[in-house]
Amino acid sequence: MLKHIEELFMKYHSGEEGLSSATVEKNRKAYGQNQIEEKKKTNFFVKFLKSFKDSLIIILMVAAVVSVIIDPTAYVDSIIILIVVFFNSVLGVVQETKAEHSLEALKKMSSPTSKVIREGKKRIIPSSEVVVGDVLLVEAGDYVAADALLMESVDLAVDESALTGESLPVNKNVRDINEINLPIGDQKNKIFSSTFITSGKAKAIVTEVGMHTEVGRIAELLNEKTDATTPLQHKLSSVGKMIGFMAIGICAVVFLLEMLSCFKNGEDLSKAWVECFKTAIALAVAAIPEGLATVVTIVLAIGVGKMSKRNAIVKRLPAVETLGSCNVICSDKTGTLTQNKMTVQKIYYNELKSIQKIGERERELLSYFALCCDATIDNEIIGDPTEVALLEANQSYGRVLQEKRVLEIPFDSTRKRMTVVIKKENTYLAITKGAPDFLIEQSNLTDMEKKKIMEVNQQMASQALRVLALATQSFSSKPTEYQLEKNMTFMGLVGMIDPARPDAKEAIALAKDAGIRTIMVTGDHLLTASAIAKELGIIEGEHEAITAKELDSLSDEELLKNIEKYGVYARVAPKDKVRIVEAWKKKDAIVAMTGDGVNDAPALKKADIGCAMGITGTDVSKEAADMILVDDNFHTIVSAVKQGRGIYDNIRKCVKYLLSSNIGEVVTIFLASLISAITNISIGVPLLPIHLLWINLITDSLPAFGIGMEEVEDTIMNESPRPKKEGFFAHHMSIQIVIEGFIIGICALISYSIGHFLEHSHITGQTMAFFTLSTAQLLHAYNVKSKYSVFSLKSYKNHFLNFAIFIGFVLQVLVVYCPGIYTLFQFEPLSFTNLTICICLGLLIVVYSELFKKD
């Protein structure tokens, strides 16, 4: 027995006969339970209350309360506002709750029962009862319950894809490995919790359980608290704060102006201040864009619907925009950039050829490789991926197989070869496939021939191809095992690899053109990862690739300094992926992370947006991610980036539209109060709170939804990603909002003045101001929606927006002309002349915008 096994027996008070009952309890107390611990969850009610801390939500609640205080009969407006608040809060909590099941998925991966030896007897126990020091028995078809060191093994192969992300089973055996800090994939003498035994059997001593296992460490990383707010949420929060300060400022200024006007008119200020205060508060409340939060939520929901049709399922609404603003995509290799399927690429028979250009001799060679396989691909694919690749290559390029084997020597990891004997007419043919070095040595080749074949072997290996050799022997009678695998006739080599996805190269190039860098982060070997990365255009030379060992040797400061130098990280562990993501984030990058294994889950959660694979992805990776790619296609990410950019652009348009409309309302009232305060002209109040609330909640919201449904413009992927610190109102948007708002407001005030002074009717003035304001805002939607002129047919492709504006005009006409309704709003029907004046004044905002459009 190996020395380190004996040392573990002594340390854990175990042995060949396993643990005693008393020792089981001692070890459980000393080393812990074999369970994944969950962080304490926040209950639904607390989450619901926390959702009200958003600035816009607070403003909306204040709007509802103040509306009732000012006018108790306006309870309908308050109910509408509270419904908006409730809808947004519930929607946010539901989305958050759906994203909190990562650890539950980890638990599902655990084997329900395990076989152990205790007190010399084989027992089947619940996996949660396995303790450190237990002697664990595993065989093909078992999930491993805990991390363990091998004591005995026979042809053991383990699927570790859940931890390493690599699809090929790993051959394990008992050996001394003294090197520390090895990647999981290189620890050939250990088996790990949540991995799957594909072949063979073994006996192992448990060294780690529960949260101390490799999968437990992943769970611990998932438990770490992360900032779940996205760039869009940060920016909308700043918008909300800005609106709040604006509303407070309006309150103060309008209150002073109203008080000044009352003073000039000789009114009793001790009584007048209450009405002045109510007017100021009412104006501020009405000036807040009550529909903004709902519009943004629905625009995001529309984006989610569009993305689902393009094979990208989004779990959190704000994550749509985040992907659109990312400038770094850290991607797993296997199954994401590659096909997750071994494929024969090269074949050697006297000369090296690609498989598409082989001749008759190479076809025969392929058929021999296929005969020496245990896998099947008839009704379903069963077997080792390497053998499946050989069968599929023969099916496409080789010969039809008729021969039946009469003898075989199975493959094992020590011999690294497999032999079958088939009867071929009156002779017996032995076919051996395996590692090239052994078959070359055991073949009847000259030294020159051996040298040439080894050079070809090295050439294929340098291209990251997995190389297998084949040799044969002929017998006149059925041979014995003793006669086989000696003095063979060397036939040839095949080279295979998990190839790059056909469209991944194009997707990476498109991402590069859009200013997005792709980084490969993989558990595979450096040589294989570098070869695929070069083919895909991720890197140009080997100096841009680094291993986990080299990464560990770098301090956080060194990594941060050199992070932009590396395009490939090979043999990485889960903690390395998190470290890479964190380093890029410290560089102010917005990072997307793709992956499919348990090993990817912590990095998926840590990234600004995690993208899990829908087909090959584990439950853990899907639950930890923000988005799931249904088709496992890297190209889908580029499409999602385009949609994300378009959605963010549409949200900016919506905010611009709503705020310019609200500034127009504020300007109308503010200038009227200012004129009354500084002149002897009593201009009155152009609009009542009910008029403004109707415009904000009804007239503005429908066109805003239409703007949110605008199709993404084709040129958007030619732009660079937005800088992380770029403000929401960048590129002079705030100036444009103010100018457009002033034009709308002045037009409404002119319209009011015509009715108030020329028609000598305050009600006519208010009606004209309302109709002008509504008309200007409805038409302004066409200005905001795109860069195209309103005289271009492209401006009318958005059918929902066309319908929304039509409905807006219908509602506005009903409010002004329908008996009963116009009385409720304190309006009166307008004459044809006054109606024409209102429409003409409303069109002035279109004229202004057309002057500044390129097309």
pLDDT in tens, 61-86: 776 676 667 656 656 656 656 665 67
Query: What whole-number distance in Å separates Cα of residue 76 and Cα of residue 210?
Result: 56
Question: For residue 252, with 0-12 CB atoms within 10 Å meaning exposed, 13-18 middle and 19 or more buried, which class applies?
Answer: exposed
Per the annotation, the verdict on 332 as an active-site residue is yes
Tell me the helices (H) and strands (E) count for the chain, helix number first.
31, 22
User: Can you read off the two tokens belonging to residue 733?
Assistant: 């948007």
Q: 135, 122 in Cβ contact below 8 A?
A: no
The active-site residue, picked from 147, 332, 596, 608, is 332
Model pLDDT, residue 616: 72
Query: What whole-number distance in Å separates Cα of residue 537 and Cα of residue 504?
Result: 10
- 465-505 confidence digits (pLDDT tens): 999 999 999 999 999 988 999 899 999 999 999 998 888 89
pLDDT band of residue 536 (cuts 50, 70, 90) is very high
Between residues 722 and 28, which one has the greater pLDDT?
A: 28
Q: 600, 332 in Cβ contact below 8 A?
A: yes
pLDDT band of residue 245 (cuts 50, 70, 90) is confident
Query: What whole-number distance in Å separates Cα of residue 150 and Cα of residue 1?
Result: 11
Q: Is the pLDDT of residue 367 over 80?
A: yes
User: Can you read off the two tokens belonging to residue 248?
Assistant: 């407070």
Q: Taking Cα atoms as reference points, which of 82, 50, 87 lies closest to residue 63? A: 82
DSSP 350-400: SSEEEGGG--HHHHHHHHHHHHT---B-SSS-BS-HHHHHHHHHHHHHS--
Q: What angle do CA 166, 172, 176 make, to 5 degrees?
A: 120
70 phi and psi, to 5 degrees? Answer: -70, -45
616 phi and psi, to 5 degrees? Answer: -90, -10
Model pLDDT, residue 699: 78
Model pLDDT, residue 855: 47
What is the crossing angle of helices 762-785 and 634-678, to 10°?
Answer: 150
Model pLDDT, residue 391: 93
Q: What is the DSSP letter of 152?
A: E
Model pLDDT, residue 813: 93
Model pLDDT, residue 343: 94
- For tokens 């009155």, the residue is 684
Q: Taking Cα atoms as reference points, which of 353, 368, 442 lies closest to residue 398? A: 368
Signed CA dihedral, 727, 728, 729, 730: sign only: positive
Average of pLDDT values for 813-833?
91
Question: For residue 624, with 0-12 CB atoms within 10 Å meaning exposed, 13-18 middle and 19 or more buried, which class applies?
Answer: buried
Model pLDDT, residue 106: 41
pTM confidence score: 0.69
Q: 173, 200 in Cβ contact below 8 A?
A: no
Q: Is the pLDDT of residue 622 over 70?
A: yes
Q: Taking Cα atoms as reference points, which of 776, 801, 809 lies closest to residue 703? A: 801
Query: What whole-number distance in Å separates Cα of residue 70 and Cα of residue 688?
Result: 12
Q: Taking Cα atoms as reference points, which of 724, 719, 726 lies closest to residue 584? A: 724
Q: What angle do CA 155, 159, 164 make, to 5 degrees?
A: 130
Return the top range by mean pLDDT from 312-326, 411-425, 610-624, 775-789.
Answer: 775-789
Identify residue 583 by its one-letter amino acid code: A
- Comparing 29-38, 67-76, 186-195, 668-677, the range with the smallest average pLDDT is 67-76
User: Can you read off the two tokens belonging to residue 642?
Assistant: 């385009």
Signed CA dihedral, 828, 831, 833, 839: sign only: positive
Q: 109, 598 in Cβ contact below 8 A?
A: yes
Identify residue 498 by its one-letter amino acid code: D
Between residues 321 and 712, which one has the greater pLDDT?
A: 712
Q: 748, 769 in Cβ contact below 8 A?
A: yes
Identify residue 276 by its one-letter amino acid code: C
Q: Spell out the residues 6+ positions from residue 515 whose beta carbon is closer than 8 angstroms to its own.
A: 327, 719, 720, 721
- For tokens 């002008």, the residue is 772
Q: What is the DSSP letter of 758?
A: I
Q: Which helix (H) or strand (E) holds 489?
A: strand 489-497
User: Can you read off the two tokens belonging to residue 758?
Assistant: 């020329």
Q: 329, 519 in Cβ contact below 8 A?
A: yes
Query: What whole-number distance in Å separates Cα of residue 118 and Cα of residue 121?
Result: 5
Between residues 629 and 693, which one has the greater pLDDT?
A: 629
Query: What whole-number distance in Å separates Cα of residue 308 and Cα of residue 445?
Result: 59
Signed CA dihedral, 148, 150, 151, 152: sign only: positive
Model pLDDT, residue 61: 72
- Comparing 56-60, 194-198, 659-663, the range with the smallest average pLDDT is 56-60
Biggest CA–CA distance in the chain, Å, is: 127
Q: Spell out the residues 6+ positions from residue 588 whose beta carbon is closer than 8 angstroms to its own.
A: 723, 724, 725
Query: What whole-number distance in Å separates Cα of residue 700 and Cα of residue 310?
Result: 30
Paired residues of 433 in beta bridges: 418, 470
Q: 524, 334 in Cβ contact below 8 A?
A: yes
Between residues 646 and 273, which one has the greater pLDDT?
A: 646
Between residues 708 and 88, which one has the greater pLDDT?
A: 708
DSSP 464-477: T-EEEEEEEEEESS
Instruction: Indicate the Cα dihedral angle 606, 611, 612, 613, nearest 10°.
Output: -160
SS3 167: coil
Averaged pLDDT of the chain: 83
C-alpha dist (Å) from residue 323 to 218, 590, 608: 24, 8, 8
User: Can you read off the two tokens belonging to residue 183?
Assistant: 């990647």
SS3 506: helix
Q: What angle do CA 810, 812, 814 make, to 5 degrees?
A: 70
Q: Taking Cα atoms as reference points, which of 221, 238, 234, 192 lies closest to residue 610? A: 221
Q: 132, 30 in Cβ contact below 8 A?
A: yes
SS3 595: strand
Q: Spell out the residues 6+ positions from residue 106 whose beta carbon is closer than 8 angstroms to its own.
A: 36, 194, 215, 218, 219, 222, 598, 620
- 260-280 confidence digits (pLDDT tens): 777 776 666 666 676 666 666
Q: 194, 75 in Cβ contact below 8 A?
A: no
Q: Spell out the residues 6+ positions from residue 447 whose beta carbon is closer than 8 angstroms to its own.
A: none
C-alpha dist (Å) from residue 559 to 524, 578, 606: 21, 13, 17
Between residues 246 and 416, which one has the greater pLDDT?
A: 416
- 91-149 confidence digits (pLDDT tens): 556 544 543 444 344 444 444 788 999 999 999 898 889 999 999 999 877 889 999 99
- 656-715 confidence digits (pLDDT tens): 998 898 889 888 888 888 887 777 777 777 887 778 778 877 778 889 888 988 888 878
Q: What angle do CA 569, 314, 228 make, to 5 degrees?
A: 70
Query: What whole-number distance in Å separates Cα of residue 683 and Cα of residue 663?
Result: 20
pLDDT band of residue 629 (cuts 50, 70, 90) is confident
User: Can you read off the two tokens belonging to residue 34?
Assistant: 């074999």
User: Can you read off the two tokens belonging to residue 47?
Assistant: 């989450």
- Comparing 383-387, 557-561, 771-775, the range with the smallest average pLDDT is 383-387
Long-range contacts of 256-263 (CB under 8 A, 24+ apart): 257/670, 257/673, 257/674, 257/676, 257/677, 258/673, 258/677, 260/677, 261/673, 261/676, 261/677
Average of pLDDT values for 177-200?
81
Model pLDDT, residue 454: 94
SS3 13: coil
Q: Which helix (H) or strand (E) holds 136?
A: strand 135-139
pLDDT band of residue 53 (cuts 50, 70, 90) is low
SS3 349: coil
Model pLDDT, residue 66: 67
Average of pLDDT values for 7-25?
90
Q: Which helix (H) or strand (E) holds 423?
A: strand 417-424
Q: 373, 387 in Cβ contact below 8 A?
A: yes
- For tokens 């562990």, the residue is 573
Average of pLDDT values for 505-524?
91
